Chain A
Amino acid sequence: MTTTEIQLKPLPGDLAIWFFIFMELLVFGLFFMVYAVMRLQNIELFNHYQLTLNRELGAANTVLLITSSYFVVRAVGAIRQNKINQCINWLYAALLGGAGFLILKSVEYVGIFSEGISLTTNTFYMFYLSLTMFHFLHVVLGMIILFAIVINAKRGAYNADDHIGLETGASYWHMVDLVWIILFPLVYLIR
Protein backbone atom coordinates (compact mmCIF):
# COMPACT_ATOMS: atom_id res chain seq x y z
CA MET A 1 0.00 0.00 0.00
CA THR A 2 1.37 3.40 -0.93
CA THR A 3 1.26 6.31 1.48
CA THR A 4 -1.53 7.93 -0.55
CA GLU A 5 -3.88 4.97 -0.20
CA ILE A 6 -6.35 5.05 2.66
CA GLN A 7 -7.54 1.88 4.34
CA LEU A 8 -11.35 2.02 4.22
CA LYS A 9 -13.17 0.70 7.25
CA PRO A 10 -16.49 -1.18 7.10
CA LEU A 11 -19.56 0.58 8.47
CA PRO A 12 -19.81 0.20 12.25
CA GLY A 13 -22.40 -2.38 13.27
CA ASP A 14 -24.71 -4.39 11.06
CA LEU A 15 -25.12 -3.17 7.46
CA ALA A 16 -28.92 -3.53 7.76
CA ILE A 17 -29.12 -0.80 10.39
CA TRP A 18 -27.51 1.66 7.96
CA PHE A 19 -30.25 1.06 5.39
CA PHE A 20 -32.79 1.54 8.19
CA ILE A 21 -31.01 4.75 9.29
CA PHE A 22 -30.99 5.96 5.68
CA MET A 23 -34.76 5.40 5.39
CA GLU A 24 -35.39 7.14 8.70
CA LEU A 25 -33.30 10.12 7.65
CA LEU A 26 -35.21 10.37 4.38
CA VAL A 27 -38.53 10.48 6.24
CA PHE A 28 -37.34 13.09 8.73
CA GLY A 29 -35.66 15.06 5.94
CA LEU A 30 -38.91 15.17 3.98
CA PHE A 31 -40.74 16.29 7.13
CA PHE A 32 -38.21 19.12 7.69
CA MET A 33 -38.46 20.32 4.10
CA VAL A 34 -42.27 20.30 4.15
CA TYR A 35 -42.17 22.27 7.43
CA ALA A 36 -39.87 24.88 5.86
CA VAL A 37 -42.04 25.17 2.73
CA MET A 38 -45.32 25.33 4.70
CA ARG A 39 -43.81 28.08 6.86
CA LEU A 40 -43.35 30.13 3.67
CA GLN A 41 -47.14 30.18 3.29
CA ASN A 42 -47.82 30.99 6.97
CA ILE A 43 -44.82 33.07 8.09
CA GLU A 44 -46.63 35.24 10.63
CA LEU A 45 -48.46 32.30 12.16
CA PHE A 46 -45.25 30.21 12.46
CA ASN A 47 -43.25 33.15 13.90
CA HIS A 48 -45.98 33.95 16.43
CA TYR A 49 -46.60 30.45 17.76
CA GLN A 50 -42.92 29.51 17.72
CA LEU A 51 -42.46 32.03 20.55
CA THR A 52 -44.94 30.05 22.70
CA LEU A 53 -42.57 27.05 22.79
CA ASN A 54 -40.32 26.44 25.77
CA ARG A 55 -36.86 27.07 24.32
CA GLU A 56 -35.16 26.34 27.66
CA LEU A 57 -36.53 22.80 27.67
CA GLY A 58 -35.60 22.43 24.00
CA ALA A 59 -32.00 23.49 24.70
CA ALA A 60 -31.80 21.27 27.79
CA ASN A 61 -33.01 18.34 25.71
CA THR A 62 -30.32 19.06 23.11
CA VAL A 63 -27.68 18.95 25.85
CA LEU A 64 -29.14 15.67 27.16
CA LEU A 65 -29.17 13.96 23.75
CA ILE A 66 -25.66 15.13 22.78
CA THR A 67 -24.33 14.00 26.16
CA SER A 68 -26.15 10.68 25.94
CA SER A 69 -24.66 10.16 22.47
CA TYR A 70 -21.21 10.97 23.91
CA PHE A 71 -21.75 8.34 26.63
CA VAL A 72 -22.56 5.76 23.94
CA VAL A 73 -19.30 6.65 22.17
CA ARG A 74 -17.51 6.04 25.50
CA ALA A 75 -19.31 2.69 25.83
CA VAL A 76 -18.09 1.59 22.39
CA GLY A 77 -14.58 2.81 23.28
CA ALA A 78 -14.68 0.78 26.51
CA ILE A 79 -15.74 -2.47 24.84
CA ARG A 80 -12.96 -2.05 22.24
CA GLN A 81 -10.58 -2.23 25.22
CA ASN A 82 -12.50 -5.19 26.63
CA LYS A 83 -13.64 -3.13 29.64
CA ILE A 84 -17.11 -4.66 29.90
CA ASN A 85 -18.16 -3.16 33.24
CA GLN A 86 -17.13 0.31 32.08
CA CYS A 87 -19.10 -0.24 28.88
CA ILE A 88 -22.22 -1.18 30.85
CA ASN A 89 -21.86 1.87 33.11
CA TRP A 90 -21.57 4.21 30.11
CA LEU A 91 -24.67 2.60 28.61
CA TYR A 92 -26.59 3.16 31.85
CA ALA A 93 -25.48 6.80 31.76
CA ALA A 94 -26.69 7.07 28.16
CA LEU A 95 -30.06 5.57 29.15
CA LEU A 96 -30.29 8.14 31.94
CA GLY A 97 -29.76 10.90 29.37
CA GLY A 98 -32.49 9.43 27.19
CA ALA A 99 -34.86 9.17 30.18
CA GLY A 100 -34.12 12.80 31.04
CA PHE A 101 -35.05 13.77 27.47
CA LEU A 102 -38.36 11.89 27.68
CA ILE A 103 -39.20 13.46 31.05
CA LEU A 104 -38.50 17.03 29.86
CA LYS A 105 -40.41 16.44 26.63
CA SER A 106 -43.36 15.06 28.60
CA VAL A 107 -43.32 18.16 30.84
CA GLU A 108 -43.42 20.25 27.67
CA TYR A 109 -46.36 18.24 26.26
CA VAL A 110 -48.32 18.49 29.53
CA GLY A 111 -47.93 22.28 29.38
CA ILE A 112 -49.05 22.36 25.74
CA PHE A 113 -52.02 20.00 26.15
CA SER A 114 -53.20 21.69 29.36
CA GLU A 115 -53.72 24.83 27.29
CA GLY A 116 -56.04 22.89 25.02
CA ILE A 117 -53.57 22.80 22.14
CA SER A 118 -53.78 19.81 19.81
CA LEU A 119 -52.78 18.70 16.32
CA THR A 120 -55.78 20.54 14.89
CA THR A 121 -55.17 23.89 16.63
CA ASN A 122 -53.20 25.33 13.69
CA THR A 123 -50.59 24.39 11.07
CA PHE A 124 -47.64 25.29 13.30
CA TYR A 125 -48.75 23.12 16.21
CA MET A 126 -49.66 20.34 13.79
CA PHE A 127 -46.02 20.28 12.60
CA TYR A 128 -44.55 20.88 16.06
CA LEU A 129 -46.52 18.06 17.68
CA SER A 130 -46.22 15.52 14.87
CA LEU A 131 -42.48 16.16 14.32
CA THR A 132 -41.50 16.10 17.99
CA MET A 133 -43.78 13.15 18.83
CA PHE A 134 -42.40 11.16 15.90
CA HIS A 135 -38.91 11.91 17.21
CA PHE A 136 -40.05 11.08 20.79
CA LEU A 137 -41.04 7.58 19.59
CA HIS A 138 -37.57 7.16 18.07
CA VAL A 139 -35.99 8.07 21.40
CA VAL A 140 -38.17 5.43 23.08
CA LEU A 141 -37.14 2.83 20.47
CA GLY A 142 -33.48 3.84 20.85
CA MET A 143 -33.71 3.37 24.62
CA ILE A 144 -35.27 -0.07 24.19
CA ILE A 145 -32.35 -1.00 21.90
CA LEU A 146 -29.79 0.39 24.38
CA PHE A 147 -31.45 -1.53 27.22
CA ALA A 148 -31.32 -4.75 25.19
CA ILE A 149 -27.62 -4.06 24.57
CA VAL A 150 -27.04 -3.64 28.33
CA ILE A 151 -28.68 -7.03 28.96
CA ASN A 152 -26.54 -8.64 26.25
CA ALA A 153 -23.40 -6.97 27.61
CA LYS A 154 -24.16 -8.31 31.09
CA ARG A 155 -24.52 -11.80 29.61
CA GLY A 156 -21.04 -11.41 28.13
CA ALA A 157 -22.21 -11.17 24.52
CA TYR A 158 -19.67 -8.46 23.64
CA ASN A 159 -15.90 -8.26 23.85
CA ALA A 160 -13.07 -6.38 22.15
CA ASP A 161 -13.19 -8.64 19.08
CA ASP A 162 -16.95 -9.06 18.74
CA HIS A 163 -19.26 -6.12 19.53
CA ILE A 164 -21.20 -5.64 16.29
CA GLY A 165 -24.51 -5.57 18.21
CA LEU A 166 -23.30 -2.73 20.39
CA GLU A 167 -22.12 -0.73 17.37
CA THR A 168 -25.46 -1.34 15.66
CA GLY A 169 -27.44 0.09 18.57
CA ALA A 170 -24.96 2.94 19.00
CA SER A 171 -25.38 3.95 15.34
CA TYR A 172 -29.16 4.12 15.76
CA TRP A 173 -28.83 6.24 18.92
CA HIS A 174 -26.52 8.70 17.12
CA MET A 175 -29.11 8.96 14.32
CA VAL A 176 -31.73 9.99 16.90
CA ASP A 177 -29.29 12.67 18.10
CA LEU A 178 -28.51 13.81 14.53
CA VAL A 179 -32.19 14.34 13.74
CA TRP A 180 -32.69 16.44 16.90
CA ILE A 181 -29.69 18.60 15.94
CA ILE A 182 -31.76 19.85 12.97
CA LEU A 183 -35.19 19.67 14.62
CA PHE A 184 -34.33 21.88 17.60
CA PRO A 185 -33.17 25.01 15.74
CA LEU A 186 -35.72 24.56 12.95
CA VAL A 187 -38.81 24.38 15.19
CA TYR A 188 -37.69 26.29 18.30
CA LEU A 189 -35.22 28.96 17.17
CA ILE A 190 -35.05 29.89 13.48
CA ARG A 191 -37.46 32.69 12.57
Chain B
Amino acid sequence: MKSYYNVHMIWAAMLALTGATYTMGRLDFSGVDVVFLLLLASLVKGSFIIRDFMDLKDVSLLWKVIMYGWLWSICIVIAITYVISS
Protein backbone atom coordinates (compact mmCIF):
# COMPACT_ATOMS: atom_id res chain seq x y z
CA MET B 1 0.00 0.00 0.00
CA LYS B 2 1.29 3.42 -0.90
CA SER B 3 2.30 5.42 2.17
CA TYR B 4 0.97 8.94 2.34
CA TYR B 5 3.28 9.79 5.24
CA ASN B 6 6.15 11.35 3.36
CA VAL B 7 8.05 14.63 3.37
CA HIS B 8 5.82 16.15 0.66
CA MET B 9 2.63 15.47 2.61
CA ILE B 10 4.27 16.77 5.79
CA TRP B 11 5.19 20.01 4.00
CA ALA B 12 1.63 20.36 2.70
CA ALA B 13 0.19 19.61 6.16
CA MET B 14 2.39 22.27 7.75
CA LEU B 15 1.28 24.84 5.19
CA ALA B 16 -2.35 23.90 5.83
CA LEU B 17 -1.84 24.26 9.59
CA THR B 18 -0.21 27.65 9.03
CA GLY B 19 -3.21 28.75 6.97
CA ALA B 20 -5.58 27.56 9.68
CA THR B 21 -3.70 29.31 12.49
CA TYR B 22 -3.44 32.53 10.47
CA THR B 23 -7.19 32.44 9.78
CA MET B 24 -7.96 32.01 13.49
CA GLY B 25 -5.71 34.98 14.28
CA ARG B 26 -7.09 37.10 11.43
CA LEU B 27 -10.66 36.55 12.56
CA ASP B 28 -9.55 37.77 16.00
CA PHE B 29 -10.60 34.55 17.70
CA SER B 30 -9.43 34.65 21.29
CA GLY B 31 -9.81 32.71 24.52
CA VAL B 32 -8.16 29.73 26.12
CA ASP B 33 -9.67 27.25 23.64
CA VAL B 34 -8.15 29.15 20.72
CA VAL B 35 -4.80 29.44 22.52
CA PHE B 36 -4.79 25.66 23.00
CA LEU B 37 -5.63 25.10 19.33
CA LEU B 38 -2.86 27.46 18.16
CA LEU B 39 -0.34 25.83 20.49
CA LEU B 40 -1.47 22.37 19.37
CA ALA B 41 -0.83 23.42 15.76
CA SER B 42 2.66 24.59 16.79
CA LEU B 43 3.28 21.29 18.61
CA VAL B 44 2.30 19.30 15.51
CA LYS B 45 4.40 21.45 13.17
CA GLY B 46 7.36 21.42 15.58
CA SER B 47 7.13 17.62 15.87
CA PHE B 48 7.15 17.29 12.08
CA ILE B 49 10.29 19.43 11.89
CA ILE B 50 12.07 17.47 14.64
CA ARG B 51 11.01 14.01 13.47
CA ASP B 52 11.00 14.32 9.70
CA PHE B 53 12.92 17.44 8.62
CA MET B 54 15.73 17.11 11.18
CA ASP B 55 15.47 13.33 10.72
CA LEU B 56 15.61 12.52 14.43
CA LYS B 57 13.06 9.70 14.40
CA ASP B 58 15.62 6.94 14.89
CA VAL B 59 18.24 8.69 17.04
CA SER B 60 18.94 8.02 20.72
CA LEU B 61 16.22 8.65 23.31
CA LEU B 62 18.35 11.37 24.95
CA TRP B 63 18.22 13.65 21.90
CA LYS B 64 14.54 12.98 21.36
CA VAL B 65 13.87 13.96 24.98
CA ILE B 66 15.95 17.13 24.55
CA MET B 67 14.23 18.25 21.35
CA TYR B 68 10.64 17.22 22.11
CA GLY B 69 11.14 18.26 25.74
CA TRP B 70 12.08 21.77 24.59
CA LEU B 71 9.04 21.98 22.33
CA TRP B 72 6.56 20.71 24.93
CA SER B 73 8.06 22.76 27.78
CA ILE B 74 7.71 26.01 25.84
CA CYS B 75 4.13 25.27 24.78
CA ILE B 76 3.09 24.17 28.29
CA VAL B 77 4.56 27.29 29.94
CA ILE B 78 2.87 29.53 27.36
CA ALA B 79 -0.43 27.69 27.86
CA ILE B 80 -0.21 28.06 31.65
CA THR B 81 0.39 31.81 31.45
CA TYR B 82 -2.61 32.23 29.15
CA VAL B 83 -4.83 30.10 31.42
CA ILE B 84 -3.80 32.29 34.38
CA SER B 85 -4.60 35.46 32.44
CA SER B 86 -8.02 34.30 31.23
Which residue numbers of A lie inside 8 Å of B, CB to CB? 6-12, 18, 22, 25-26, 29, 32-33, 36-37, 39-40, 43, 55-56, 58-59, 62-63, 66-67, 69-70, 72-74, 76-77, 171, 174-175, 177-178, 181-182, 184-186, 188-191
Q: Across the interface, do B66 and A22 meet the contact criterion of CB distance under 8 Å?
A: yes
Whole-angstrom distance from the CB of A184 to the nearest CB of chain B? Answer: 8
Q: Across the interface, do B38 and A9 meet the contact criterion of CB distance under 8 Å?
A: no
Instruction: Using known A-B contacts A29-B74, A190-B35, A190-B78, determine if residue A10 contacts B11 with beta carbons closer than 8 Å.
Output: no
For B85, the chain A residues whose CB sits under 8 A away are: 39-40, 43
For A10, the chain B residues whose CB sits under 8 A away are: 59
For B21, the chain A residues whose CB sits under 8 A away are: 184-185, 189
Q: Across the interface, do A40 and B15 meet the contact criterion of CB distance under 8 Å?
A: no
B: interface residue count bin? 35 or more
Instruction: Using known A-B contacts A11-B59, A25-B70, A185-B41, determine if residue A174 contacts B46 with beta carbons closer than 8 Å.
Output: no
- Secondary structure class of chain B's binding surface, majority of residues: helix
Instruction: Using known A-B contacts A18-B63, A188-B25, determine if residue A73 contacts B7 with beta carbons closer than 8 Å.
Output: yes
Q: What 9 pairs across the A-B complex have the smallest Cβ distances? A: A189-B25, A59-B22, A36-B81, A70-B11, A9-B58, A185-B38, A174-B53, A174-B54, A36-B78
Q: Across the interface, do A185 and B42 meet the contact criterion of CB distance under 8 Å?
A: yes
Interface residues of B in 25-48 (CB under 8 A from A): 25-26, 30, 34-35, 38-39, 41-42, 45-46
Whole-angstrom distance from the CB of A30 to the nearest CB of chain B? Answer: 10
Which residue numbers of B lie inside 8 Å of A, CB to CB? 7, 11, 14-15, 18-19, 21-22, 24-26, 30, 34-35, 38-39, 41-42, 45-46, 49-50, 52-56, 58-60, 63, 66-67, 70-71, 73-75, 77-78, 81-82, 84-85
Instruction: Using known A-B contacts A18-B63, A29-B73, A43-B85, determine if residue A63 contacts B15 with beta carbons closer than 8 Å.
Output: yes
